[in-house]
Amino acid sequence: MSTYIIGDVQGCFDALMALLIKVKFDESKDKLIFCGDLVNRGGQSLATLRWIYANQKICQVTLGNHDLSLLAQFYLYRLRKTRNSEFQEIFQAPDCANLMNWLRNQSVLIHDKRIKKIIVHAGIYPLWSLKRAKKEAKFVESFLQNHPVKFFKNMYGAHPNHWNKSLSGTDRARFAVNSLTRMRFLFKNNGLNFKAKGEIESFPKLIPWFRFKPYKKKKYTIIFGHWSALGLMQENNVICLDTGKVWGGKLTALKISDNLEDKQQIFQV
């Protein structure tokens, strides 16, 4: 048995199928974990959702910001953008409601203890312990699953951008969602920055979340996507798998064999 962790697909369904052929994926025993952003821009978002939904017994998904945008537009009609033909195709599909209900019930953080990995779309706020990160992820997932309309009415916004244990309700959910699905850089005062994106060297006054001092002593590996400017990157205890297929790059999978002593392998198409 092998586990394949796959970077941002963003509707590049043909590339996903080509990647599975390349790794010789065996549906009878192998497993897929997606780093989020299944949809948008690649032209085949509906096909991507349908395939993962049909194979949900062997697939796990962490939600990305584009997936949440799709769900927000589904539950709040006023947010729909007619120019986004890819989302419109999904909304007009006869199985749309089933797909959206399934997508809404996916995770924002996966801790796979067997392979000793944490999979998340953007990252984990550096001042959180793993216990706290999992607690905040569960809070978001419960809110999203049980009160989707309220959740999406309050999801967007850049504040609060500092963590505080006293945060509650929609403020708590917004901070957690932003950390888990949107985060790239932090200010030196621990605050999240949402405007900067691109190469690290372009923002010398900001700190990438994974280089924040508390991360130096973590004992687990975090695998994430979301930051295509990083490309395939492994630094200390973090691995980025967003290699920008939708921008002309590649789609990447990290193979972890059942025998954890085996060397991890990277595959790309």
**What's the whole-model pTM score?**
0.96
Taking Cα atoms as reference points, which of 42, 63, 246, 62 lies closest to residue 155? 63
Reported as a single tens digit per residue, the pLDDT across 187-201 is 999 999 999 999 999
Residue 221, domain extent? 2-268
Sign, CA torsion 225/230/232/236: negative
Structure tokens at 41: 């821009």
Along the chain (269 residues), what's the average pLDDT of each consecutive run of 10 residues? 96 98 96 98 97 98 98 94 91 98 98 93 95 97 97 96 96 98 97 95 96 70 97 94 97 88 89
Which pLDDT belongs to residue 263? Answer: 81
Taking Cα atoms as reference points, which of 180, 168, 122, 126 lies closest to residue 143? 168
Q: Tell me, what CATH number does 155's domain have?
A: 3.60.21.10
Q: Residue 253: what are its φ and ψ, rounded to 5°?
A: -130, 140
Structure tokens at 235: 């630094």
Q: Where does 65-198 have alpha helices with state H?
A: 65-75, 85-91, 96-104, 130-146, 148-153, 169-181
Burial class (CB in 10 A: 0-12, 13-18, 19+), 259: exposed
Distance CA 149, CA 74 (A): 10
The answer to whether 240 and 224 have CB atoms below 8 angstroms apart is yes
The answer to whether 197 and 229 have CB atoms below 8 angstroms apart is yes
Distance CA 180, CA 30 (A): 26
State the total domains in the chain: 1
In Å, how far are 3, 45, 78, 176, 215 from 144, measured between CA atoms? Answer: 27, 21, 19, 12, 28
Which pLDDT belongs to residue 76? Answer: 96
Reported as a single tens digit per residue, the pLDDT across 99-139 is 999 999 999 999 999 888 999 999 999 999 999 999 999 99
